[in-house]
C-alpha cells in the first residue's frame, strides 16, 4: 500500500487581521520548520500575498492555500477570484465545497464540481470538503450524503487528477461546535469514502488518496483521530488560529 503523507490544513475562515495573520504566520514558520508531514494555511484572500512573501522569504515548507475559488478563468464575475489569480499569488492548494460555502452561502453540488474541476485542471491541489448535517446523520444518511457530494464533485475528474486531490470529511454538526466525531465514527466514514473512491476509480487510487478529518479537532483529540488507519490528517478551523495548538496538531499527524 502506498505511503500517504499526512496533511494538516489550517482553515482560518473569515478571521484575523492583517497584523494577527502575519504574527501567526511568523510563529508557524518557527514551529513547523522541520515537519515530515505537509502543512498548509488557508488565510482570507486579502492576506495571501503578504503571507506568501513571509513563507517564501523563510523558505518555509508550509503550503499556501485559499478557501475558495471561482471556476471561470476571467470575466465579468464581480467579487469572484479565479484559480489562475490564486496561482499567480503563490497559492498551491484550494478548498472546495466547504460546508460553510454549501450551507451558509448556498453552493450546489454542481457548482462545487465545477470549482473542483477548475482547481485540478489548473494544476493546483484541491481539498474537496464533504460531510453530512446532524439531521442527515440521525436519519442514517451519512454514507449516502458523502457519496452524493463526492460523485457530483468528482464527475469529470480523471485518474491523473487524483495525485492532487485531498478529500476532507467534515461532518457539519462537528464544525465549530466542540462536538467531535468519535475516532470510530470518523474512521467508519473515512473507510466508506475510500471504498467509494475505489468504486469510482480503482483500489490503488483509493489507497493513495488522502482523506482528512475536520470538525472540532484540537490539541487534545488530534492524536487519537489521526491514529485511525483511514484518517490521513485534518482540516482545522478554530484551533488553527493558535500557533501552539496548530503545531501540536501537526505533530500529532506525523507518523
Ligand atoms: P473547527 O475546527 O473550528 O470545528 O472547523 C473545522 C473546519 O470547518 C475546517 O475547515
Contact status, residue 210 vs residue 203, Cβ threshold 8 Å: no
User: Mapping DSSP to helix (H, G, I), strand (E, B) and coil, where does residue 42 land?
Assistant: strand
Q: Average per-residue pLDDT in the chain?
A: 96
SS3 at position 213:
strand
Rounded mean pLDDT, 94-115: 97
Q: Report the predicted TM-score, pTM, of the whole model to 2 decimal places.
A: 0.97
Return the best residue to mutate from 10, 11, 130 for the ligand 1 pocket (most ligand atoms within 8 A of CB).
11
Average pLDDT of the segment spanning 38-47: 98
Ligand 1 within 6 A of CB of 176: yes
Q: Would you give the distance in Å from CA 64 to the centre of its chain?
A: 12
| Known catalytic residue at 170 | yes
pLDDT band, very low/low/confident/very high, at 123 (cuts 50, 70, 90): very high
Domain 7-221 carries which CATH code?
3.20.20.70
Cell 470538503, residue? 129
Average pLDDT over residues 146-169: 95
Task: For Cα atoms 65, 71, 75, give the angle at the middle one, nearest 5 degrees.
Answer: 115
pLDDT of residue 30: 97
Annotated domain spans of the chain? 7-221
Percentage above 90 pLDDT, the chain:
94
Query: What is the pLDDT, as a whole number, of residue 131?
Result: 97
214 lines ligand 1 (CB under 6 A): yes
Say yes or no to pLDDT of 35 above 90: no
Q: Is residue 153 within 6 Å of ligand 1 at its C-beta?
A: no
The residue-averaged pLDDT of 115-132 equals 98
Contact between 1 and 248 under an 8 Å Cβ cutoff? The reply is no
208 or 35: which leads in pLDDT: 208
For the chain, the helix, strand and coil percentages under 3-state DSSP, each to the nearest 5: 50, 15, 35
- What is residue 3's predicted lDDT score, i.e. its pLDDT? 84
Are 28 and 246 spatial neighbours (Cβ–Cβ below 8 Å)?
yes
User: For residue 196, is pLDDT > 80?
Assistant: yes
| Average pLDDT of the residues in 70-90 | 98
CB 4 within 8 A of CB 208: yes
What are the tens digits of pLDDT across the range 222-232? Answer: 999 999 999 99
* CB 218 less than 6 A from any atom of ligand 1: no
Mean local confidence (pLDDT), 15-42 = 97
Q: Could you tell me how many residues make up the chain?
A: 255
| Percent of all residues in the chain with a pLDDT value above 70, rounded to a whole number | 99
* Bridge partners of residue 166, in order along the sequence: 127, 210
The terminus-to-terminus CA distance of the chain in angstroms comes to 15
Closest CA to 116 of 81, 152, 64: 152
Q: How far apart are CA 131 and CA 148, in angstroms?
A: 10
- Tell whether the model's pLDDT for residue 2 goes beyond 70: no
pLDDT of 108 above 80: yes
Helix (H) or strand (E) run with residue 194 in it: helix 183-200
Residue 82's CB is within 10 A of a number of other CB atoms, namely 18
Which residues of the chain form beta strands (DSSP E)? 7-11, 38-42, 63-66, 93-96, 125-130, 165-169, 210-214, 233-236
Q: Report the DSSP beta bridge partners of residue 127.
A: 95, 166
Of all protein residues, the one whose alpha carbon is nearest to atom 1 of ligand 1 is 237
For the chain, counts of helices (H) and of strands (E): 11, 8
Q: How confident is the model at residue 157 (pLDDT cuts 50, 70, 90)?
A: very high
Per-residue pLDDT, 115: 98
Amino acid at each position: 500500500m502506498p505511503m500517504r503523507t499526512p496533511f494538516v490544513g489550517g482553515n482560518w475562515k473569515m478571521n484575523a487581521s492583517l497584523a494577527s495573520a502575519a504574527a501567526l504566520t511568523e510563529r508557524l514558520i518557527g514551529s513547523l520548520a522541520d515537519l515530515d508531514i505537509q502543512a498548509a494555511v488557508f488565510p482570507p484572500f486579502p492576506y495571501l500575498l503578504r503571507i506568501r512573501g513571509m513563507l517564501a522569504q523563510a523558505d518555509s515548507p508550509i503550503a499556501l492555500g485559499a478557501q475558495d475559488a471561482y471556476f471561470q478563468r476571467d470575466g465579468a464575475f464581480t467579487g469572484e477570484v479565479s484559480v489562475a489569480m490564486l496561482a499567480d499569488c503563490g497559492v498551491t492548494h484550494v478548498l472546495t465545497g466547504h460546508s460553510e460555502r454549501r450551507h451558509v452561502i448556498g453552493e450546489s453540488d454542481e457548482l462545487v464540481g465545477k470549482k473542483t474541476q477548475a482547481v485540478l485542471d489548473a494544476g493546483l491541489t484541491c481539498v474537496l470538503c464533504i460531510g453530512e448535517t446532524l439531521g442527515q446523520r440521525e436519519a442514517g444518511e451519512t454514507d449516502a450524503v458523502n457519496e452524493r457530494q463526492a460523485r457530483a464533485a468528482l464527475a469529470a475528474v480523471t485518474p491523473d487528477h487524483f495525485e492532487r486531490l485531498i478529500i476532507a470529511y467534515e461532518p457539519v454538526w462537528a464544525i465549530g461546535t466542540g462536538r467531535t466525531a468519535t475516532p470510530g465514527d470518523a474512521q467508519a466514514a473515512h473507510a466508506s469514502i475510500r471504498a467509494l473512491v475505489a468504486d469510482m476509480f480503482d483500489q490503488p487510487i483509493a489507497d493513495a488518496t488522502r482523506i482528512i478529518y475536520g470538525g472540532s479537532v484540537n490539541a487534545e483529540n488530534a492524536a487519537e483521530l489521526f491514529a485511525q488507519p483511514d484518517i490521513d490528517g485534518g482540516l482545522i478551523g478554530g484551533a488553527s488560529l493558535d500557533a501552539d495548538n496548530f503545531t501540536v496538531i501537526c505533530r500529532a499527524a506525523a507518523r
